[in-house]
């Protein structure tokens, strides 16, 4: 489905204070953070490398997303093979815990039917998930930069990993290994990547880390760090394209897409991608 990289990146706590300090420097007109060292932003390159999402393909859009609870239950039967009770369906959302419970009670084995209950699972890999995710992130940053706005949602883990990677004065110290996907029994940490495809760059941060030398959870301090940032504290060329976890999720066509000027689409969200502001 093209979402393996997201799974391997896993979930990490979001530093709300870091996000707040970044939002303060976001400019809706340019879709960039205005920093002392210049303009910078999360790009299609970042989304693809950090979480391995495809940036080439069909736009993430469609029609007929407004359904009643009963219609969504029928859609679950069509796509997942079971109908959750109406109380478990909130709008068009279904809790992961509901899927967990269903999968535990209905184990998949060699006698299970072939993918007949997973409609268009191969088609999903042909969507440009990366551009949809970036469109959503841009829209949330624009909405949250309005005076009086107090909440933000969206792919904030990508934004946090981007900030940690680019801004050395905010980057935590990474230690040890942290499982994101359950490994086979009796597999050591050193063997973990031999039983699964390689993880994307963002999985580097799916480890135990500490802020021994950097600040966290303080808007005032992070705001000051951004204000005083010097050229040597922002890494404009953070990715090593010879690294396996970078090479695994890019191919020859990406360079042109990374530098394009085009609208990013996620259903009813359309945000401009202006690479001509930051690329050569």
42-74 pLDDT tens trace: 999 999 999 999 999 999 988 766 788 888 888
Compute the distance between CA of residue 9 and CA of residue 52 in angstroms, rounded to an integer.
9
**Cα distances (angstroms) measured from residue 253 to each of 27, 244, 262:** 29, 18, 16
Q: How is 169-231 classified by DSSP, letter by letter? A: TTPPEEES---SSPPPTT--GGGGGGSSPPP-GGGGGSSEEE-SSS--S-HHHHHHHHHH--G
Burial category of 132 from C-beta neighbours within 10 Å (exposed 0-12, middle 13-18, buried 19 and up)? buried
At a CB cut-off of 8 Å and minimum separation 6, what does 144 contact?
23, 26, 151, 152
Q: What is the pLDDT of residue 180?
A: 41
Q: What is the pLDDT of residue 113?
A: 61
Classify residue 234 by its DSSP letter: B
| Token code pair at residue 43 | 């790009």
Digits of tens for pLDDT over the chain (280 positions)? 888 999 899 888 899 999 999 999 999 999 999 999 999 999 999 999 999 999 999 999 887 667 888 888 888 888 778 888 888 888 777 888 888 888 888 877 777 665 644 556 778 888 999 999 999 999 999 999 998 888 999 999 999 999 999 999 999 887 654 444 433 344 445 555 567 889 999 998 887 777 777 778 899 999 999 999 999 999 999 999 999 999 888 866 677 899 899 999 999 999 999 998 766 5
In our burial notation (b when 16+ CB lie closer than 10 A, e otherwise), range 176-207 reads eeeebeeeeeeeeeeebbeeeebbbbbbbbbe
Between helices 156-166 and 129-144, what is the axis angle to 10°? 90
Compute the distance between CA of residue 209 and CA of residue 118 in angstroms, rounded to an integer.
38
Q: What is the pLDDT of residue 175?
A: 66
Contact (CB, 8 A) for 163 and 94: no
Q: What is the pLDDT of residue 140?
A: 97
At a CB cut-off of 8 Å and minimum separation 6, what does 153 contact?
140
When computed from its CA atoms, the radius of gyration of the chain, rounded to whole angstroms, is 20
Q: What is the pLDDT of residue 112?
A: 65
From the CB of residue 174, how many other CB atoms can be counted at a distance below 10 Å?
14
Beta bridge partner(s), residue 174: 209
At a CB cut-off of 8 Å and minimum separation 6, what does 201 contact?
49, 50, 165, 239, 243, 245, 246, 249
Q: Is the dihedral of CA 26, 29, 35, 38 positive or negative?
A: positive
Determine the distance from the C-alpha atom of residue 31 to the mean position of all C-alpha atoms in its chain, rounded to a whole number.
18
């Amino acid at each position: 489905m093209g979402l393996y990289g997201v799974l391997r990146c896993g979930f990490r706590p979001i530093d709300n204070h870091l996000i707040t300090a970044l939002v303060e420097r976001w400019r809706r007109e340019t879709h960039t953070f205005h920093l002392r060292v210049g303009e910078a932003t999360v790009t299609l390159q970042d989304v693809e490398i950090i979480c391995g999402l495809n940036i080439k393909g069909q736009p993430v859009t469609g029609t007929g997303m407004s359904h009643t609870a009963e219609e969504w239950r029928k859609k679950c039967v069509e796509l997942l093979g079971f109908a959750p009770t109406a109380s478990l369906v909130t709008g068009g959302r279904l809790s992961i815990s509901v899927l967990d419970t269903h999968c535990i009670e209905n184990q998949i084995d060699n006698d299970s039917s072939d993918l007949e209950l997973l409609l268009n699972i191969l088609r999903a890999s042909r969507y440009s998930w990366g551009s949809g995710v970036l469109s959503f992130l841009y829209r949330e940053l624009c909405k949250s930069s309005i005076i009086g706005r107090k909440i933000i949602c969206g792919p904030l883990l990508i934004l946090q990993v981007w900030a940690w990677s680019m801004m050395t004065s905010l980057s935590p110290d990474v230690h040890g290994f942290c499982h994101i996907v359950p490994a086979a029994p009796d597999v050591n940490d050193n063997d973990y990547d031999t039983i699964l495809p390689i993880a994307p760059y963002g999985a580097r941060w799916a480890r135990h880390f500490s802020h021994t030398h950097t600040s966290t959870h303080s808007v005032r301090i992070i705001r000051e760090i951004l204000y005083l940032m010097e050229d040597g504290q922002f890494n404009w060329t953070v990715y090593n394209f010879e690294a396996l976890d970078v090479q695994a999720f890019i191919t020859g066509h990406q360079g042109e897409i990374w530098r394009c000027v085009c609208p990013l689409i996620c259903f009813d969200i359309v945000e401009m991608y202006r690479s001509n502001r930051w690329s050569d």
